[in-house]
Amino acid sequence: MPEGDRGCGARLRKAREAAGLSQAEVAARLKMPLRVVDSLEIEDWSRLGAPVFVRGQLRSYARLLGLTTSPMFEASGVAPVEPPTLTPRTYTRPLQRFAEQAARRFVYIVMTIAIAIPVWLATRPHLAVVSHDAAPLDVPALGAVTEPGDRGAVADDPHPLVASLAPLPAREATAPTLSLRLGGDSWVEVTARDGRVLEQGLLRAGEQRNYDAGEVARIVLGDAAAVEVRNQGHKADLAPYLRANVARFTVSSDGSLAPAAD
C-alpha cells in the first residue's frame, strides 16, 4: 500500500470516491457538518474535539462506507477512552470502619426502640377493644335485646362496637422515568438539575442507567447510535438532537426532551 494511503483519512476518501459520493452527500447522510467530513479525511483531529467524539465520528463514517471500524481506529492513532479509575482519598482501617458501622447500627436500634415503645403503649388499649369487639356493621351486637313494641331499641352495652376494615392494597413501585440502554460502547455525560454530574465516562455495551423524574437536566451521548433512550416507557427519537452522531438534549421537569446548546 502506498505511504499516502495508509492513514484512515485516505482510506475514507478512496472508499467515498469509489462509492461515487461527494463530501456534501456524506455530510447529509450522516447529519454531520461538511467541515467534520473534511477533517476526518485529512486526519485533522484538533478540529473534532475529544478523542471519544473522534472515534464516534470515524465509526459512523466507516459504517456508511462499509469499512471495518477496528483497522480504522488503529490507523487513526486515536487512543480509546478508558473509564476513570476511582481511588479513595482517605484510608480507614478495617477495625475503625467496623466500630463505626456497629455504632451506627446501635444508635439506629436505640432510636427505633425509643419510638416504637411509646407508640405501642399508646395503641394497646385501642387494639384490645378492636380484638374483642370488632364485628361487621350489619350484625347486631351479642346480648342486645329489643322489645316487641319498641323498634330500634337496643340494650345498653358497656363496650362500643368497632367496625373492622380491610387493609389497603400496597402501592406498586413506579418505573424509572428515564433510562439509557447501551447497545455499544459510548461516552455519556448526565448532569443533574442542581448542576451535579451524575455520569461522565465511557459506558460499555450491555450497561443500563435509570433516573427518576426531575433528576436529570442535560444529557450528552458521544455515540448516539449505540444508545437507546427510553423516556416514560417509550423509546425517544434522538434525530432532532444529533450533530455528527453526538446527541445533546435537555430534560424538563415534566419529562419532555429538547435540544441543548453546545
pLDDT classification of 49: cutoffs 50, 70, 90? confident
In a domain? residue 64? yes
Cell of 10: 485516505
Going by C-alpha positions, the residue among 225, 216, 221, 223 that lies closest to residue 197 is 216
Q: What angle do CA 240, 78, 207 make, to 5 degrees?
A: 55
The counts of H helices and E strands in the chain are 6, 12
In a domain? residue 92? no
In a domain? residue 155? no
In a domain? residue 232? yes
In a domain? residue 223? yes
In the block, cell 385501642 appears at 126
SS3 212: coil
Q: How many domains does the chain have?
A: 2
CA atoms of 202 and 199, how far apart (whole Å): 9
- pLDDT number for residue 152: 46
DSSP β-ladder status, 208-211 and 242-243? unpaired
CB 256 within 8 A of CB 234: no
pLDDT classification of 1: cutoffs 50, 70, 90? very low
Domain boundary among 76, 96, 125: 76
Domain boundary among 31, 50, 76: 76
pLDDT classification of 199: cutoffs 50, 70, 90? very high
Q: Which of 79-83, 186-190, 214-218 has the lowest mean pLDDT?
A: 79-83
Cell of 112: 427505633
In a domain? residue 106? no
pLDDT classification of 86: cutoffs 50, 70, 90? low
- pLDDT number for residue 64: 86
Domain boundary among 76, 110, 127: 76
- pLDDT number for residue 196: 92
CATH number of domain containing 28: 1.10.260.40
pLDDT classification of 260: cutoffs 50, 70, 90? confident
The CA-atom distances, in angstroms, between 235 and each of 31, 225, 240, 241, 249 are 21, 13, 14, 14, 15
- pLDDT number for residue 121: 83
In a domain? residue 164? no
Q: For residues 191 and 11, which has the higher predicted lDDT (pLDDT)?
A: 191
pTM summary value: 0.36
- Structural domain span for residue 253: 178-259
DSSP state of 200: E
Q: For residues 133 and 226, which has the higher predicted lDDT (pLDDT)?
A: 226
In a domain? residue 231? yes
